[in-house]
Chain A
Amino acid sequence: MGSRQIVEKSLTLLRSLPRISLNNIRDNPGSKKTQKRGRGQHGGDKHGSGNKGSGQRQNFMRLGYETGNNPFYLRVPQEHYYRGHHHRRQYPPLSLLTLQRIIDTNRVDVTVPIDIASIVKTGFYSFFPDQKHFGINLIDEGVDIFEAKINIEVQWASEQVIAAIERNGGVITTAYYDPHSLFLLRNPKKFFETGQAIPRRMIPPPDAIEYYTSAENRGYLADPDQISEARLKLAQKYGYKLPVIENDPKYNMLCERKDPRQIFYGLEPGWVVNLKDECILKPKDEELKRFYSL
């Protein structure tokens, strides 16, 4: 009986209570989180640097430092193959294939001697004298299909390349230019607009002199007699008949060489080229002449 009474009682109580509505309910406990107002962009966070120590203070260690360990870059013994590589002369390559393409597409005039300035002008080759680049290394890629008769001056060439050019009745010379001259050859217009007199080309450094004086490399400082002998030798070695350039109609063009002090074909040191007036100014003062002919 007692339980029945209780049920009755609670039912009456329920009936007396108001109906459940939005006015008298509350959220589940823990369902709402009070927003905290942080300070700064990320709510006063550590900005990804973590808490305490080296990370928080952002004292970035130098590269390779391993906090007192024997660092990896010092752990292996040194190898000296590349010692001083950043001082060595570099010759960015140009392949015979590209050269053939330049000639075939008529981007360079083969009726006049070709030098680094005319090759740079084609847009197929670029180099940076300030990055120890000392000019063209003509490489033997496409050596079998090369068939142009040219008078070319490069800064480095292998034996096969020399043979490939001479087989076709052409002439190749390896010549050294100091970085300053290379800047001029790379962009002659820029130099002429500075209104300076064309300087002299400097002599090669001692470690390059051997290359540029040897007839085998067709160096520009080599003895011409030795060069003709070397041409013959190379023809015998590679088994081709050396075309006689003396009988060639282009003999004069093929024989043209720059003076060891000359930078541009047709322009002597000491001359001033003015592109606006389209004129060349030549010095007449004896001292200047002496200086530029040294």
Chain B
Amino acid sequence: MNIYVRSRLFRSNLINNLICFYSTSTPEVIDQNDRVLIDDSDETTARENEIEKKRNKSGLSAAHLNIMNGRRPYETPKHLSHLTVKHNRKLYGKYGSESGVNPSLCWPTKLDIQEALEYESVAFPYTIREVMESAALRKQEEKLKIQKRETDIAAKYAKLEQWKKELRDKLAKKAAEAESAKIKKERLVEEVRRHFGFTLDPRDERFQEMLAKREKEQRKLEKQAKRDAKEKMMFAKLQQKNVEIKDTPKR
């Protein structure tokens, strides 16, 4: 806590200390001592005081009377807070140079300045230009991000029709395969039924056995057909080659 004791001795000391740092421009306030003859003998002042006392019919306390007349309420501090710099600044702000407070108190001390600078270096670490640049950079980055996403979407959209066709073909193929398999199975079942000569429950064991047998046969047949086809192919190829071999020596 900054403490400022308003004693005559200490104030003069303060003034001596501070006047070297801060000088103020308040000449018009100070230069008001016109040459007027004032009878300041003890008797007259005592009488004046007496008259003033009698005139004051307000019943206000001394402090309130001072405030009413635009003076600081009391000269002696009544509370610990009256010793603070803040309070003395307020006295100066409110009652002016009449308050007797040294106006150099209005400015921060060297320590205060250091603290303020330290605070500002933490609270506002970047200059306006730096902040502007970083804001511009961030904006640019966001813009690039959006652009990238848009081009990505456009590229994907261009391929969309192709992908749709592929999917549709795949589905159709799958459906056709399922259909053919179903027909095959039905045919087998029909054949088995014909073999027995009466409608047999497909869950029956005999039926199942017969079906398996038929399927096996069918598979065998298919295999055979495949092999035949392959042989045929090979044979055709060989024949082709033979023809070619025959043809070449003629030339």
Contact = CB atoms under 8 A, between A and B. Distances in A.
A209 B138 CA distance: 13
Interface stretch (A88-96, A153-161, A281-289): A281-289
B124 A285 contact: no
Interface string B110-135: 10010011001001101110011011
B97 interface: yes
A281 B110 contact: no
Contacts of B91: 195
A46 B108 CA distance: 63
Contacts of B116: 291
B198 interface: no
A116 interface: no
A288 B94 contact: no
Given A210-B139, A276-B98, A279-B29, A194 B131 contact: no
Q: Is the interface of B mostly helix, strand, loop or mixed?
A: helix
B22 A285 contact: yes
Contact of B131 (A193, A206, A260, A285): A206
B103 A281 contact: yes
Given A193-B94, A291-B116, A203 B128 contact: yes
B29 A288 contact: no
Nearest to B113: A291
A274 interface: yes
B128 A194 contact: no
A206 B123 CA distance: 12
Interface string B67-105: 000100000000000000010111111111110010101
Nearest to A270: B107
Interface in A105-127: none
Contact of B106 (A197, A202, A213, A221): A197
A276 B124 contact: no
Interface in A219-266: 221, 260
B51 to A, nearest CB: 27
A271 to B, nearest CB: 10
Interface residues of B, number: 42
A194 B84 CA distance: 13
B243 to A, nearest CB: 79
Contact of A282 (B25, B86, B92, B123): B25
Interface residues on A, range: 20 to 34
A277 interface: yes
Most buried by A among B22, B107, B134: B107
Contacts of B21: 285, 287-288
B180 interface: no
A285 B21 CA distance: 5
Most buried by A among B29, B106, B132: B106
Contact of A194 (B28, B93, B107): B93
A218 B116 CA distance: 31
A196 interface: yes
A276 B94 contact: yes
Given A197-B106, A209-B128, A221-B128, A281 B24 contact: yes
Contacts of A282: 24-25
A276 B113 contact: no
A272 B139 contact: no
B61 interface: no
B26 interface: yes
Contacts of A192: 93
Given A195-B94, A197-B107, A287-B113, A209 B135 contact: yes
Contacts of B242: none
B90 A193 contact: yes
B25 A281 contact: yes
Nearest to A206: B131
A194 B91 CA distance: 8
B135 A276 contact: no
Contacts of B135: 206, 209-210
A294 B88 CA distance: 27
A203 B124 contact: yes
A260 B26 CA distance: 28
Contacts of B44: none
A285 B106 CA distance: 13
B181 to A, nearest CB: 47
B33 interface: no
B23 interface: yes
29 contacts: A193-B90, A193-B94, A194-B89, A194-B93, A195-B89, A195-B103, A195-B105, A196-B89, A197-B107, A206-B131, A206-B135, A209-B132, A221-B128, A272-B107, A274-B92, A275-B93, A276-B93, A276-B94, A276-B98, A277-B96, A279-B29, A281-B24, A281-B25, A281-B26, A285-B21, A287-B113, A288-B22, A288-B108, A291-B117
Interface of B: 21-26, 28-29, 70, 86, 88-98, 101, 103, 105-108, 110, 113, 116-117, 120, 123-124, 126-128, 131-132, 134-135, 139
8 A-B pairs with least C-beta separation:
A195-B93, A276-B96, A195-B89, A277-B96, A195-B92, A193-B93, A272-B106, A281-B24
